Amino acid sequence: MTRISRPLHAVLLLLCAGFSASALAHNPMCECKAIDAEQIKCTGGFSDGSGAPGVTLDVVGYDETILVPGKLGADSTLTFKKPGAEFYVLFDAGPGHVVEIDQADIEAP
C-alpha cells in the first residue's frame, strides 16, 4: 500500500465498523404478559434501549385477520383484551424490524 491509500483504508475500516455497530444496536424487541385472564400487556422497543412509541402492534388471528389493530402508546406499551380466537402479536417497526409472538409464548399472570 502507498502512504495515501493506507490512511484511506483505515478511515474506510472505521466507517464500516461504525455502520455495523449501529445496525446491530437497533434490533426490535417485544414482550407480552397476561395481566389477568382477560388482559394482555405488550411492551416494545429496541436493543439499544430506545422505546417504540407509535410503532404498530397488531393482534392477528391465525387466519391472518387483524383482531385488534393497535399502536404502542407514549410509554411503548399496548394493553388489549385477550381475543377468543387463536392469535399472535405482530410488532412491526418496518422492514427488518418485525417481531411475532405466538399466544402460546405469552406469560401467564
Q: What domains sit in the chain, N to C, each tagged with a CATH number?
A: 28-105 (2.60.40)
Are 14 and 21 in contact, with CB atoms under 8 Å apart?
Answer: no
Share of the chain above pLDDT 70, in %: 77
User: What is the average pLDDT score of the chain?
Assistant: 85
- Tell me which H or E stretch contains 3: none
Mean pLDDT to the nearest integer, 67-73: 98
Position 74 confidence tier, pLDDT thresholds 50, 70, 90: very high
Give the HSE-up count for residue 97: Cα atoms under 13 Å, Cβ half-sphere.
18
pTM summary value: 0.76
